[in-house]
Structures are given as structure tokens and as C-alpha cells.
Amino acid sequence: MNKKTMAGRCVATSGGADCASAGSTVHFGRSHRDPGVERARLREVGSARLAAGLARSGPKYTVLLSFAAALALSFACASPTLPLPPPGYPSLAGGADPYHVVLASACGGVEPWAIVVIINENAALPSNERGSVAFADGCGAWGATVYAQNGDWLEIWQESDTSRSSSVAVPVNLP
């Protein structure tokens, strides 16, 4: 039983304690109202408070949810991407003269629309003859004629957007 004295007297009752003070009565403990009506009243008050709270804080939650979604998307875009794979090994064929080699790669040899860089590692060659650039088509096929002879090594890599792949070393061994 719950008793409390308020500048006056309290009387214990079967439903709790009634305290009288200066002409007012305060009840502590169980309600004398109908329990079904009391539950319905509490549900109505709770629903009204919930609705008022959501209406009041709705824009705040909308802004917070929008910010969280934007933050999640920014991290998704900032996630590390897979590195650009090295190009596939091209086929080699003799060129128009013994100092040139024709390189060719079928679809899928590099990324579509990639730039293919070919460098002859033979340091004895003049610098303007050591490198060549080819452009891949929409399926990743490319071809190039480069200055090279048997025994030379060609370093080949691809560039796409702002990424550069690792290189492959291709020996020149023609019959």
C-alpha cells in the first residue's frame, strides 16, 4: 500500500491511500475508475502523443534520413575499385620489314576503349622508335605495328579512365 502525507493526514483504504489537505483529496494507488475506460483513455492519449511527436519531428527525421542515405552513397562511391587487369598476351607476326612486328589482340584483350602502350625495352634503339600507342575498340580488340626484332622484349600495359594496369613482358620470337 502506498502512503504519503501532504501537510495533513492520510487514511489507508483498500484501493491505496487517500490524503486530505486543506480541503482537497489526493489519491495514491489504484484508480477507482472503470479499468476498461481507463485503458481506452490511456491508449487515446498515447496515440495522440505519438502522432503529435511524429508530426513535430517529421522534418527532422526526413533531413536525418536524407543525410544518412547521402553519406552511405558517398561511401559506396568511395569504396576501392578492382585494379585494372593487365592486358592479354597479343599475337605476333612479322611486319613489312625485318625491323617491325605486328601485334594484335582479339576482343577482350583489354578493356573497351582502353589506351594500349607498348614500349620496346631495347635501350640501343633511338627513343623515338621505342614506343607505340594503340587504341582499343568497343570490345577491347587492338592492333599495332612496333619497331622490334627477334630477341627484343616488349612491355605492354593498358590505361582506362584514370587507371593504369600492371604490365606484361612479351618476348619477340618470330620464325
Q: pLDDT, tens digit, for every residue of 69-82?
A: 777 777 666 556 78
- Check whether 17 has a pLDDT greater than 80: no
Looking at residue 90, its pLDDT comes to 97
Spatial separation of the C-alpha atoms in residues 153 and 119, rounded to whole Å = 8
Cell numbers placing 30: 489504484
Which residues have a Cβ under 8 Å from the Cβ of 38 and sit 6 or more positions away? 31
Task: Say how many C-beta atoms besides its own lie within 10 A of residue 98's C-beta.
Answer: 10
List pLDDT tens digits, range 26-78. Answer: 555 555 566 666 666 666 666 666 556 555 555 666 677 677 777 777 766 65
For 18-43, b/e burial (b = at least 16 CB within 10 A) is bbeeeeeeeebbeeeeeeeeeeeeee
Give the chain's domains with CATH numbers: 91-171 (2.60.40.10)
Q: Across-strand partners of 168? A: 156
